[in-house]
Structure 1
Amino acid sequence: MELTPTALVLLGLMLAAWTFGAGWLALGASKTARQARASRSNARRLARMMEDSPAVPLLVRADMKIEGPDKLASWLGLDSLPGYLSELSEATGESGLGEFEMGELTEAVRRTQKTAAPFRMVVTPRGSERSLALRGQVADPVVAPPGAALVWFFDFSESHVELTRLREETQHARDDFAALVGLIEAAPMPMWFRGPDMKLRLVNSAYVKAVGADNADAVVEKQVELIERVDGLTAAQIAAQARDKDLPIERIVQATVGSQRRTVRVSDLPLGQEGVAGYAIDIEEMEEQSRAFRAFREAQRQMLDQLSIGVAQFDSEQRLSFSNQPFQRQFSLPANSAVDPPSFERFLDIARDAGRVPEVRDFPAWRRELVDWFASDASHDEAWTLSDGTHLRVVAQPMPDGGLVIIAEDRSEPLALSAMRDTLLRTRAATFDSLFESLAVFAPDGRMQLWNRRFGDIWGLPEHFLDEHPRIDKVLEKISRQLARPGQWKAIGDVVRSATLDRQQRGGQVTLTDGRTLEFAGVPLPDGNGLLTVLDVTDSKKAEDVLRERASALEEADAVKTRFLANMSYEFRTPLTSIGGFAELLQGGVAGKLTSKGQEYIAAIIASVERLSQQIETVLDLTQSEVGLLPIATEEVDLLAFVTSVVREREDVIEDNDLTLNLRGNKGIGTVVVDKRQLGRALGNILDNAIAAMPEGGRIVVALSRMKQGVRIVISDNGPGMKPSELARALEGYRIGTGGMPGARRGGLGLPLARQLIEAHGGKLELQSEQGVGTTATILLP
């Protein structure tokens, strides 16, 4: 059968439709397969995610049947998840939920199923430390039929431990904060806290008391600042600087604390963005102590500068912090040492260069030994002998702060004095032993300190006895055996006691049994001891007795001389007066007229009598003056007129010898109180001596002058003068020569008598003569 075209067309359309439908079905099936594969993959992924999720769901149906993963059973300590909710608590009580927690869970689930109210609770399975958080809600109808509840289990064991720890830390922080607040409140120093706006938010009671406010709230409300403006900046502005720099700021300012101005140290401590804390420490007492310390240090250093001992201080860094002037001189420190203080080692180098340290073989090693003084616990005392012979005593004292004090004392002079003292002691001992006088030194307690060999010999004391330094009572016991009168030992003891205790000098004399005479004396010494001196005066005693006998004879001779002088005037002058009177009678012709030769003899007799009378009178006056028997009858005399009269008496002799006499003076000289006759004889004798010594044409000058006390008379000539030996003999009295005759003299007895007469008036005669120039006599009268 043949198909028509229309049928073919329709058949083609059907085949095309069938092919299109088959292709469509194939495409739909492929899409469904892909979706199924994707759904299975999503289901596996969701299941895996549920297994790894920290939350596990539990579906509780209306009949209390439960559905959930096995992971929940492992959380509860069960082998597998039971079918009903009540079976989550095992009867054995070793796993699952506890009865109390099970009851609360059942009640909460039923309430949610009935009222759709969610719940939360925390449970801990028995025998486990796991903490589970439960959140219950009504199950979505898509998940479960109506009346079912969905409970999510969350394992927050780690969070719970962390939460517990945080709670404990929070509690500790609260306790610490409370303690800190209490400490801040009880702190004796003002403390405060500023907020981010730099306003006061918290102050303690000390701050309130310092600003004189009623309470802390009033201070915060009124923003009462304790610290005043400093350099135009308020306390809040300085706190803002500390916050901006995130660095604490500390300063020392003056503030009024209560009613007093005090020095305080203020600190501002930034606390991040929270604000700035601050506190103020009262350092007024510290500042006073610091000022007192500085004043003490300055006074101490000024005092050290006045010492003769060198003192230097080195700080903990071993640098020279102070040295007084003696120390600088001793070690030749440079002038800039105060500005640029050297180190200890540098100081030793400077001293070594100046030769002010001892010469050592290894100077670096010696210097290191001295540097170890800083770390030493004990002081060091050394003696340094320098190259110039200086002896230094150096004492190094370590200080608690790590520094070092060095004291340098120049011992050169004390050592020299000590050596000199030793020499003097040895010299004294040698001198003591070489003296003829016996010496012994006793201490105030009576013990013998020193003695010489003569002391033991003179008293007969053995050497071993003296070596024991015996006391005075034992010495006296030995001495008493040598005394002619044993009771005299008490006098010796009294002398020693008076010299040592009473500090008085006393003496005495004793006689020994062998006839010797000893004279002793006690002399107090400057050191408090007493010196007993004993001298053998036996020979002196004998000589004294002889001299005493001779003195008695001389006294008797002097008495005879006095009686001779008393009678000499009568015995000498009466015969001369008779001879002169008879000669004058013969010259007057009483016995008849004499021849020319007889007249010459009579004139010679009269002249000789007159001259002999003058000589006798001179001898009597000189002798009486020497023995103090010359009579002086003083009266007030005009000196110029008196001297003029004396000169006038010798006018003829001066003219006969062709001499010139110049008298210099004026009436302003005044008067003197003298014996006119005796002083006239003295001046006349001096003038006669000058006239006799002058050649023809010579010149004599007599000058009178008034002094502050008394007058002065100068008689000078230009004669031949005298030698010093001749001048000495001219002033002497009678001198008997080797043949028993008077020795040769110049000028006779005039000058000696003149000197005696002038001295009898309280004056003085001075003679000066030069051979070939002349002689000058100066008379000084009061």
Structure 2
Amino acid sequence: MELTPTALALLGLLLAAWTAGAVWQVVNSMERSRSARSARTMTRRLTRMIDDSPAVPLLVKADGKIEGPERLASWLGLRKLPGFLSELDARDAGMTEGDLEQLRDAVRRTQKTASPFRMVVTPRGSEKSLALRGQLANAAIASGGAALIWWFDFSESQGELSRLRSEKARARNDFAALVGLIEAAPMPMWFRGNDMELQLVNSAYVDAVAAKNAAEVVEKQIELVEKVDGLSAAQIARQALEKNLPIERILQATVGNQRRTLRVSDLPLGTEGIGGYAVDIEELEEQGRAFRAFREAQRSMLDQLSVGVAQFDENRRLTFANQPFKRIFALPASVQIELPQFERFLDMARDKSRLPEVRDFPEWRAELAAWFQAGAPIEDAWTLPDSTHLRIVGQPMPDGGLVFVAEDRSEQLALSATRDTLLRTRTATFDSLFESLAVFAPDGRMQLWNRSFPAIWGLTEEWFDEHRHVDDLLDRIANRLARPAQRKAIGDVVRAATLDRKQRGGRVVLSDGRTLEFGGVPLPDGNGLLTVMDVTDSTKAEEALRERASALEEADAMKTRFLANMSYEFRTPLTSIGGFAELLQSGVAGDLSEQGRDYVEAILSSVERLSTQIESVLDLTQSEAGLLPIATEDVDLLSFLTHVVRSREDAIESKGLTLDLRGDKSAGTVSADRRQLGRALGNLLDNAISATPESGRILVALTRRKSGARIVISDNGEGMKPSELARALDGYRLAGAEGNGGNGGNGGKRGLGLPLARQLIEAHGGRLEVQSEKGAGTTATVMLP
């Protein structure tokens, strides 16, 4: 069958439509497939997002059934999510009974009124905090009035909120405490705003400026600190704020009614303002001044000590050294300017040879440096190369420093050696003395004794080794005394020497007949010395001497009587003879022949000579007996000596002698008996005239000395031997013996001339010295006071 073009066209259109429909269907199917895949992917993504979200949904239907993820069961501590809301309380897990009842009431209210709710629950046995937000579920989610509850785990947020709340409370309390502390602070404190105006002050500030209250201070802007160098307190505070650095200064301010030293500090407080406080350091300053004065006084005192003292600080630097320390270690004066380290000080001392010689000096120096860390004082002894002995003491200080003390003990050691020598010498001296010695302490015990002390009492030396008490000694020697009661006298002497510090003595007789003399002497060290001596022989000799003295006294008395009698017996007959001879010479008995007159002249000459001899003998005897009368007067020496010389002018001219008299008025006067001194000088001059040969020479010299006058009479006669001179001075040379024996024998005229002259000169307080040499002459020197 043949189709028409119209049919073909229709058929083509139909095929095209069918093809287009098929294509559209295929395309639509592919689009739906892509939408389904996209929906599944979105569902999985949303489900995953819900599972990973911090909130978990729970759908509660009208009949109480619940739907939700298992993650909510783990939050509530359940093994799995139950089917009904009432089953969320598992007694040992899940929600508590009260929270569950509150949740059910809120769900019922939401289902009825569509009002949302919020609540917070804590599962049983858990510290989680769960926040619940409930609302009516959308009809697309569930129909029939279901409620949708979102569960949020805000445990961390709750902990943070709790922490913030506690911190807020603590900060509030701290702020209140800080305000109270500032208010109660004993030091003035204040706060300034950005405009540097006072905004807050404490009570101490109010009291310091003598204001009524803090409001008055803020209102009137009363400053505690005055201007210093033209800058006010506010200007200083502004500088601290601009530099954002605290400023501290020490200045004077009036606090109350007193002028005090304050340490003022301004502290920037960010953008809020600036705070400040003032610390009263007046007492600290006074203590500082007192400490500085004490330190200066201490160092001045240390300079006066003989012990060397040096101070090193915690950095081992020399801060002070007194003069003895510098002298001991030969330190230069620059050490007070350039303070050396301890090790450097040792090096300097070593260079001056003021340290002991050691084998390893660095190691030894390190050992000394360890003294800074020592826990106790360290003492050492150093011997320097020049034999100086030092006692070294290192005293560690609490601040880490060291006090170094050096004491020169050379003199002490020398004194100690000398003391030991003296002790040994004293012991040897004690043992070598004839006296028996014992030293007793104030308590009565024996300290020392020599070897003869036990022997004199008849005791053994071993008995004394126990340093016996004086009472024990007295008990032991009581039976050796002739009178035992005398032991008390010995004890009293020991007690007087030790306790009363008085010197006493006594004498005891032993039973064997010996006589002991004892004495107590107080010693400078507080002890007492008891000396005992056997005076038996001296006692016997004393008795003999006493008897002899009595005999001599009797003989002296007899001599005195004899001299008185002899003076009368000699002079009376001699005077009678001379008187009768003068009567005969005057012709009373008639004229005499030439030979008779010669006899009478011879008698008168002999009477004169005998009178002189008798007078010399009597004067010499009285002088030796101390009975010679001396009547002193002021005597001009030059004129007096001239008169003595001129009275012997005839004798000098008869022998053709030359006499040289030397002297002047400067010799002055002396207090003397003119007659007796004239006899003494005349005897010396007569002896010189007799001893000088014809045409000889005699010198008489008068000089003044500081202690008196000196008269020298010398001749160039034959002189005398020493033995002859001794006999002449003792008066052994008799008249007419040995002819002219020089200036001592008086040439056969006066054998008593020299002894009498010496006695007369000594009676005037003077002294006679005679020097003679055989063949060279004799010199007599008279020294008068």
- Pick the TM interval, shorter chain: 0.7 to 0.9
What is the CA-CA distance between 1:98 and the residue it aligns to? Answer: 4.8
Give the SS at the match of 1:366. helix
* Cα deviation 1:78-121 (Å, max 9, x = unaligned): 99999xxxx995575578995545655776798789xxxxx885
1:498 to 496, 506, 524: 496
2:507 to 493, 509, 517: 509
* Cα deviation 1:676-696 (Å, max 9, x = unaligned): 543443454455456556775
In structure 2, the partner of 1:9 is none
1:223 to 201, 221, 224: 221
In structure 2, the partner of 1:720 is 716
Change (3 A) 1:221 1:753: same
Matches within 5 A, 1:77-226: 90=86, 98-100=100-102, 103=105, 121=118, 124=121, 129=128, 131-132=130-131, 155=152, 157=154, 158-226=156-224
In structure 1, the partner of 2:283 is 285
Change (3 A) 1:66 1:681: same
Matches within 5 A, 1:620-635: 620-633=618-631
CA distance in 2 between partners of 1:518 and 1:182 (Å): 97
CA distance in 2 between partners of 1:137 and 1:191 (Å): 62
In structure 1, the partner of 2:355 is 357
What is the CA-CA distance between 1:38 and the residue it aligns to? Answer: 11
Change (3 A) 1:508 1:754: same
> Which moved further from structure 2: 677-686 or 318-327?
677-686
Change (3 A) 1:261 1:138: farther
* Cα deviation 1:113-154 (Å, max 9, x = unaligned): 9xxxxx885555977946447598999x9x99xxx9999969
What is the CA-CA distance between 1:191 and the residue it aligns to? Answer: 2.2
> Which moved further from structure 2: 452-461 or 535-544?
535-544
CA distance in 2 between partners of 1:73 and 1:466 (Å): 113
CA distance in 2 between partners of 1:461 and 1:730 (Å): 54
The answer to whether the 8 A contact 2:730-2:755 is kept is: no
Give the SS at the match of 1:316. coil
1:753 aligns with 2:756: yes
The answer to whether the 8 A contact 2:110-2:134 is kept is: no
In structure 1, the partner of 2:766 is 764
What is the CA-CA distance between 1:426 and the residue it aligns to? Answer: 1.9
Change (3 A) 1:155 1:742: farther
* Cα deviation 1:406-430 (Å, max 9, x = unaligned): 3222222222222222222222222
Change (3 A) 1:156 1:596: same
Q: TM-score, normalised by structure 1?
A: 0.78
Q: Which runs of 5+ in 2 are unaligned?
A: 1-15
The answer to whether the 8 A contact 2:59-2:147 is kept is: yes
CA distance in 1 between partners of 2:129 and 2:583 (Å): 188
* Cα deviation 1:45-73 (Å, max 9, x = unaligned): 79968858878999999x99999998999
Change (3 A) 1:492 1:302: same
In structure 1, the partner of 2:274 is 276
What is the CA-CA distance between 1:718 and the residue it aligns to? Answer: 7.2
- Counting aligned pairs with the same residue, the percent is 59
In structure 1, the partner of 2:333 is 335
CA distance in 2 between partners of 1:66 and 1:476 (Å): 131
Matches within 5 A, 1:733-752: 733-736=729-732, 745-747=744-746, 748=750, 749-752=752-755
Instruction: Give the counterpart letter for 1:736 in structure 2.
Output: Y
Give the SS at the match of 2:371. helix
Change (3 A) 1:67 1:265: same
What is the CA-CA distance between 1:346 and the residue it aligns to? Answer: 2.8
CA distance in 2 between partners of 1:57 and 1:417 (Å): 110
CA distance in 2 between partners of 1:216 and 1:88 (Å): 69
Matches within 5 A, 1:584-599: 584=582, 599=597
In structure 2, the partner of 1:375 is 373
CA distance in 1 between partners of 2:675 and 2:736 (Å): 34
Instruction: Give the counterpart letter for 1:753 in structure 2.
Output: L
Give the SS at the match of 2:398. coil
CA distance in 1 between partners of 2:469 and 2:72 (Å): 120
CA distance in 1 between partners of 2:703 and 2:335 (Å): 76
Instruction: Give the counterpart letter for 2:524 in structure 1.
Output: P
CA distance in 1 between partners of 2:122 and 2:681 (Å): 162
1:444 to 442, 445, 448: 442
In structure 2, the partner of 1:311 is 309
CA distance in 2 between partners of 1:479 and 1:104 (Å): 129
* Cα deviation 1:539-593 (Å, max 9, x = unaligned): 2233233333333333333233223322223333344445445555565667777
CA distance in 2 between partners of 1:137 and 1:214 (Å): 68
CA distance in 1 between partners of 2:612 and 2:596 (Å): 24
CA distance in 1 between partners of 2:488 and 2:736 (Å): 56
What is the CA-CA distance between 1:35 and the residue it aligns to? Answer: 14
What is the CA-CA distance between 1:512 and the residue it aligns to? Answer: 2.7
* Cα deviation 1:350-385 (Å, max 9, x = unaligned): 333333333333333333333332222222222223
Change (3 A) 1:592 1:724: closer
CA distance in 1 between partners of 2:676 and 2:84 (Å): 172
Change (3 A) 1:121 1:208: farther
The answer to whether the 8 A contact 1:518-1:536 is kept is: yes
> Which moved further from structure 2: 471-480 or 125-134?
125-134
Change (3 A) 1:729 1:448: same
* Cα deviation 1:320-373 (Å, max 9, x = unaligned): 222222222222333222222222333333333333333333333333333332
> Which moved further from structure 2: 278-287 or 154-163?
154-163
1:475 aligns with 2:473: yes
Instruction: Give the counterpart letter for 2:766 in structure 1.
Output: K
2:262 to 222, 239, 264: 264
In structure 1, the partner of 2:427 is 429
Instruction: Give the counterpart letter for 1:327 in structure 2.
Output: F
The answer to whether the 8 A contact 1:357-1:384 is kept is: yes
Instruction: Give the counterpart letter for 2:732 in structure 1.
Output: I
CA distance in 2 between partners of 1:735 and 1:750 (Å): 8
Change (3 A) 1:388 1:169: same
Instruction: Give the counterpart letter for 1:720 in structure 2.
Output: N
In structure 1, the partner of 2:394 is 396
CA distance in 1 between partners of 2:120 and 2:730 (Å): 161
Change (3 A) 1:279 1:740: farther
Instruction: Give the counterpart letter for 2:527 in structure 1.
Output: N
Matches within 5 A, 1:630-669: 630-633=628-631, 646=644, 648-653=646-651, 657=656, 659=658
Change (3 A) 1:125 1:369: closer
The answer to whether the 8 A contact 2:699-2:713 is kept is: yes
| CA RMSD between the two structures | 5.2
2:561 to 560, 563, 570: 563
What is the CA-CA distance between 1:461 and the residue it aligns to? Answer: 0.7
Change (3 A) 1:510 1:725: farther
Instruction: Give the counterpart letter for 1:494 in structure 2.
Output: D
CA distance in 1 between partners of 2:173 and 2:84 (Å): 42
Give the SS at the match of 1:359. coil
CA distance in 2 between partners of 1:497 and 1:274 (Å): 93
What is the CA-CA distance between 1:186 and the residue it aligns to? Answer: 2.1
CA distance in 1 between partners of 2:447 and 2:680 (Å): 65
What is the CA-CA distance between 1:651 and the residue it aligns to? Answer: 4.5
The answer to whether the 8 A contact 1:134-1:153 is kept is: yes
What is the CA-CA distance between 1:766 and the residue it aligns to? Answer: 5.4
CA distance in 2 between partners of 1:436 and 1:428 (Å): 14
What count of residue pairs does the alignment treat as equivalent?
750
Change (3 A) 1:739 1:464: farther
